[in-house]
Chain A
Amino acid sequence: MSEVTYLEAIREALIEEMERDSDVFCLGEDIGAYGGAFKVTEGLMSRYGAERVIDTPISEAAIIGAAAGAAHMGMRPVCEMQFIDFISTGYDMLTNYVATARYRAMLPCPMVVRGPSGGYVRGGPFHSQNPEAAFLHTPGLKIVYPATASDAKGLLKSAIRDEDCVLYFEHKYLYRRIKEEMPAGDHLTPIGKARVAREGKDVSIITYAATVWKALDAAEQVEKEDGLSVEVIDLRTLLPMDDEAIVATVKKTNRVLIVHEDTRTGGVAGEITSRINESAFEWLDAPILRVTAADVPLPYSPPLEDYVLPQTSDIVLALRKLAAY
């Protein structure tokens, strides 16, 4: 079997699920004839027709709202946000309508909202966002954010089969930069389960998405230069959060660094820190550190973007600080 990129893995997941279940359909802007802004859905329309690969008006609220209505009736819609930054225009539909549907009205809402996310691509403030924390606060939604090609495939397939709404963030920096052989057969990555991306015993990094790769680079560097053994936890799912995996790594290394690409204040790292504080405080030998983006809209120019976003060198610095504490 040949290797498959992160982007191709997403497409494979869509094709396999559309083949498996005629209720699965895609809707979004420019996803049909054009194949999507990043070509994730390329070829889908010729394969499944305009009825199942729907080019929509520029209307995120309509895309998400219509997906919800179709999902109530038993369909399995997969919505594409052309860039995940635009999900904010569908925020009301997602948080007020979709997320509450099962609880307030016993209305099933099995749907996926996916879209290219993240920076390191010189996209500027409106084509680089990581809005996961805005939704982490909403009971009723699930959030996944794969870092590897096989998880990109496995999580999307699981998300499409989930009985609730899953926000599926895909990192556009990883689209064509990483590739791997896909596991054989019907590959499903469980939602809600983290992955140990690297075993270690001195310090833990808890992270997800593109910064998993920066964490792995940093871990390798401090192993070589400082003899430190660093464990890297790839959360994969942010909601529901895998508390078991988080506590297990805290108990193993007693030192925790949380890394994410999103901005700092009100970010996912704060939530993880609080959970560790509540359930594993006595296992800590050092304060929990965070490496995150600075609290600014993401700027466009390379020196500015590089300065704002977490870099491998920042992670190395934090690891050394923690190890020395």
Chain B
Amino acid sequence: MSVVVADRLTKVYRVAEKAPGFAGTLRHFFARRYKEIVAVKDVSFELEEGEIVGFLGPNGAGKTTTLKMLTGLLYPTAGRAEVLGFRPQDRKPAFLKQITLVMGNKAQLLWDLPVLDTLRINAAIYEIPEAEYRERVRRFAELLELEDVLTQPVRKLSLGQRMKAELMAALLHHPRVLFLDEPTLGLDVNAQSAVRDFVRTYARENGATVLLTSHYMADIEALAERVIVIHEGRLLFDGGLKALLARFAPYKEVRLELSTPADPGTLAGFGEVVEARGPVARLLVEKTRLTEAVARILAELPVRDLAVEEPPLEDAIGRVFREGRVA
């Protein structure tokens, strides 16, 4: 049985529109105009137990809205959500005790108090036995290297420490389903890596199901084997990461180091120019035309060094959004 079911989820908002300037202000005050915004349309997918799935999309694509519908924070305008056999919007305590939602830009930790105080309240709310609680805190603190930090007020912590502590608080009750919304937002490389490792370890040890949104490709690459791509509220792709790349980004990246800089116009004749800075250039070339392009580059340009690599995921996904449709 699937752990998470999204069945034709749709969410439509009504938003008041305000024109700029003083006239606009007056009209907005006396005769408001409304606009309908379709945030999510007909999104369907299912997650099995233990899967870690990446949820990709540009800002405003509907990722957060979908997560909120799956956690019961939003009621779908149409369609159905089911998690662990529950209807999220019923907000049954049995359901709430088994899930967690982490939002990258918002904190549930009490700001002026040490982390431990928030953890204590959470332990009481989720009815975690005292011994269990202590063990879990110890284990998580060890994994996240937060041992010395737990007694400091949250506002004194760095962003990385805060996020790690946030994760601790969110996972303290050992939820079976994790909804992570941009958990590594704004973190430095070390902190990002620590968060990823922690999520992976936790999921493995507890058999948890994870739905993770991010626009850092490194997160997706590190954690997820399956990705769901959403764009302008619609599902664009649902499958393996490699399949995604094969379908949308059948490219290889050619890195060139030239003895004299070539102008972008010339470079464009060989492939799509990603970057051209002085003697260094990066081009995207279709795999089918790779050999031919490389041969021509070597023949026509003063090449000092040439390397062929997988393109960064960002670029690949970026193309998906620019094209905006499934095949």
A and B found bound together: no
